[in-house]
Amino acid sequence: MKKWIIRIVLLGALTAAGYAGYTALQAMTAQRQLSIATAKVRQGDVIVRSFTRGELRAVRSVTLTAPNLFGTVQVTKLAALGAFAREKDLVVEFDDAEVQSRLEEKQLELDQIDEQIKKAQADLAIRDNQDQVELLRARYAVRRAELEVKKNELISAIDAKKNQLTLDETKRRLSQLESDIKSRREQSQAELAVLREKKNKATLEMARERSRLSQVKLLSPISGLVAIKQNRSSVMMFGMQLPDIREGDQVQPGTPVADVLDLSEMEVLAKVGELDRANLREGQQVNIKLDAISEKQFTGTIKSMSGTASSNMFSGDVQKKFDVIFSIDMKQLLTALGARPEQIAKVLATAEANRKKPVTASSGGGMMAAMMAAGGGMPAGMGGQGGGMQAGGGMQGGGQMMGAPAGAGAEGGAPGGGQRGGGGGMFGGANLTPEQQTKVRAATQKALNGKSMQELTPEERTAVMAKVREEVAKQGITLPQRGGGNGGGRGGGGQGGPGGMMMPFAGGNGPFSAKDLELAKLPPPPEEDSQMEVLLRPGLLADIEIIVEKIENAINVPTQAVFEKDGKQVVYVKNGNKFDERVIRPSKRSESTMVIAEGLKPGETVALADPNEKPGDKKKKSEQKPAGGGAAGMPMPKS
């Protein structure tokens, strides 16, 4: 009996303890739900805004790269960071000592070859005179022997036989002498041809060095701000910041050295999320605030949007976002900076002038320099002495012949070299008759005035081309700007390349003349320049507000109050001390506000956090889903 009483008492105690625990748990749950943040369901005009942060940048820019000087590329002069460079201002200058040294060596070599040619021509002239004297003596001996033979009828048979043998011997010697003279003349001509080909090669190398010399100065093709690149060829340690390129640094050919940024027209580059991208369109109005001028607000428009999203793995935000470019009202921006109307007009005129220029990345070394630096000469049809050197042969001919059609051309080269050039000169490929070709050649020789094309500067070549066109135009001959004839002839087993337009050795400074290069100076440092353009700096950060849409008399809640459950959008509406789950149908959505089509009434209170979520659920979700996932990344349908 006592056992049953004890069991009943224990059962009652356990029941009381369980009830007390249940009551405490309910109290804790109610207390936790009461501590959840809430918000009221509102009804009124909703302006759907989107906010992002971007970076100011120039619309147009030019990159200047280090040329291939076939040696050390060392910076000797460099414009200051932030300096405002005008068109044709010097931005970067490289050491030209090695190029000048090679140029002097080539000039010395060319002078030596000229002296060798003069000596060979003098020796040939002396030898020709001696040969003419010996030939005259031999002919005189033959004539005397012929006269002696005529006496044979009056003398003995033995003497007559001697005279006949003497005549035969003198004729044989005369024939042998003529053959020797011809062979010696051909040998001397061949030696002269070899020396001329050496001179042609030295002339091409001189032109190549002059081309490299014209590349040591990089001028600005537009007016803009100078931004110095980082020196990526320096030795790097982990965690070390790349230094900027400075005077005295050595860089590799093709390395970007500086950018010239056109500040007369700016834009803002920013990234937006997937939800905002669905609500944006080109031409949409935006408000922009620059951090440097936070008290001012500027208007702009959406200029362009990318079609694909990307993410930056090195940033803290791993979400994929879309690139959006915003234009900014430059007149309004310059007015806010304190620019006068005449300054604004000048800046806008600069923008218009730069907009008309085909600005592309500018290299210090042109195609011609790269092709010639590879070890060959100029390709056939690009002027000069035809194509490059052929293995086992001389230079290809036809390069100096202006206006030669395909299959025609001047005599090509030395023995063993090309026999006939193809079209390839400055006016190669023109369909000219033989008579017209003769007239073109005569006009060319007259314009050159005894010089060769290799000895001329690019400006002089251009002047010669213009003079020849003008001269032959008077005779009714029209020459094309570009050649399309065949290249130089066969030279030592090699076939000539295709014809083309003559290209001056301009390298990366093609648009600039020798006078521009000579007069180019560095722009003043930024602190010495008082122009309005330098007040702007690419890289300034800006806040952008995009007004997506204005919805009148709309029911709305904060975006945090909407949750996704079983593929449906739900909210938790407060009912006394608890929250009831309710399915809703959203209409519009932004990063901060959700417009509700049905499911809620104005004045109701909704939870900003899931009241049924247990303390351990948040940790499990964070382990299962990457940061940024969930309903916030889903695009919502438009009403």
Q: Domain total for the chain?
A: 2
Q: Identify the CA nearest to 246 among candidates 427, 402, 42, 80.
A: 80
pTM: 0.53
Mean pLDDT for 576-598 is 83
Mean pLDDT for 209-236 is 82
Range of the domain at 453: 397-505
- Out of 137, 157, 189, a domain closes at 189
Band (pLDDT 50/70/90 cuts) for residue 51 is confident
Mean pLDDT for 295-324 is 80
Contact 336, 298 (CB under 8 A): yes
Residue 398: pLDDT above 80? no
Where is pLDDT greater, at 375 or 150?
150
Band (pLDDT 50/70/90 cuts) for residue 181 is very high
Distance CA 326, CA 546 (A): 10
Q: Report the chain's C-alpha Rg in angstroms.
A: 44
Domain membership flag for residue 313: no
Mean pLDDT for 253-271 is 85
Contact 56, 503 (CB under 8 A): no
Backbone phi and psi for residue 560, each to the nearest 5 degrees, phi listed first: -65, -15
Q: Identify the CA nearest to 105 among candidates 77, 68, 67, 70.
A: 70
Q: Could you give the C-alpha distances from 604 to 33, 41, 557, in angstroms and in order?
A: 16, 5, 10
Domain membership flag for residue 154: yes
Q: Could you give the C-alpha distances from 578 to 307, 533, 563, 607, 611, in angstroms and in order?
A: 45, 62, 17, 10, 9
What pLDDT is stored for residue 30 in this prediction?
A: 52
Residue 140: pLDDT above 90? yes
Band (pLDDT 50/70/90 cuts) for residue 482 is very low
Beta bridge partners of 244: 230
Lowest mean pLDDT among 121-135, 150-164, 234-248, 421-435: 421-435
Q: Could you give the C-alpha distances from 47 to 42, 546, 547, 553, in angstroms and in order?
A: 13, 10, 7, 11
CA trace torsion 371, 377, 382, 387 (10° rounding):
-130
What pLDDT is stored for residue 190 in this prediction?
A: 92
**Structure tokens, 445:** 């020789």
Q: Could you give the C-alpha distances from 210 to 105, 204, 497, in angstroms and in order?
A: 12, 10, 24
Backbone phi and psi for residue 37, each to the nearest 5 degrees, phi listed first: -65, 140
What pLDDT is stored for residue 108 in this prediction?
A: 93
Beta strand residue intervals within 321-468, DSSP E: 321-328
Distance CA 432, CA 434 (A): 7
Domain membership flag for residue 489: yes
What pLDDT is stored for residue 88 in this prediction?
A: 87
**pLDDT tens-digit map of 603-614:** 898 888 888 776
What pLDDT is stored for residue 356 in this prediction?
A: 72
- Out of 443, 478, 505, a domain closes at 505
Where is pLDDT greater, at 240 or 563?
563
Mean pLDDT for 421-439 is 58
Band (pLDDT 50/70/90 cuts) for residue 527 is low
Residue 416, number of CB atoms within 10 A of its CB: 16
Domain membership flag for residue 479: yes
Domain membership flag for residue 334: no
Q: Identify the CA nearest to 422 among candidates 401, 398, 440, 453.
A: 398
Band (pLDDT 50/70/90 cuts) for residue 513 is confident
- 406 CB-contact burial (10 Å; exposed 0-12 / middle 13-18 / buried 19+): buried
**3-state secondary structure at position 520:** coil
**Structure tokens, 578:** 């608890």
Band (pLDDT 50/70/90 cuts) for residue 24 is low
> With b meaning 16 or more CB within 10 Å and e meaning fewer, what string describes 309-341?
eeeeeeeeeebebbbbbbbbebebbbbebebee
Q: Identify the CA nearest to 206 among candidates 111, 92, 130.
A: 111
Lowest mean pLDDT among 76-80, 352-356, 555-559: 352-356
**pLDDT tens-digit map of 355-369:** 776 554 444 444 333
What pLDDT is stored for residue 380 in this prediction?
A: 33
Residue 530: pLDDT above 50? no
Residue with tokens 């001697």: 162
Domain membership flag for residue 387: no
Where is pLDDT greater, at 318 or 133?
133
Domain membership flag for residue 23: no
Residue 637: pLDDT above 70? no
Residue 165: pLDDT above 90? yes
Contact 377, 205 (CB under 8 A): no
Domain membership flag for residue 496: yes
Distance CA 231, CA 354 (A): 28
Beta bridge partners of 313: none
- Out of 189, 206, 224, a domain closes at 189
Residue 379: pLDDT above 50? no
What pLDDT is stored for residue 454 in this prediction?
A: 61
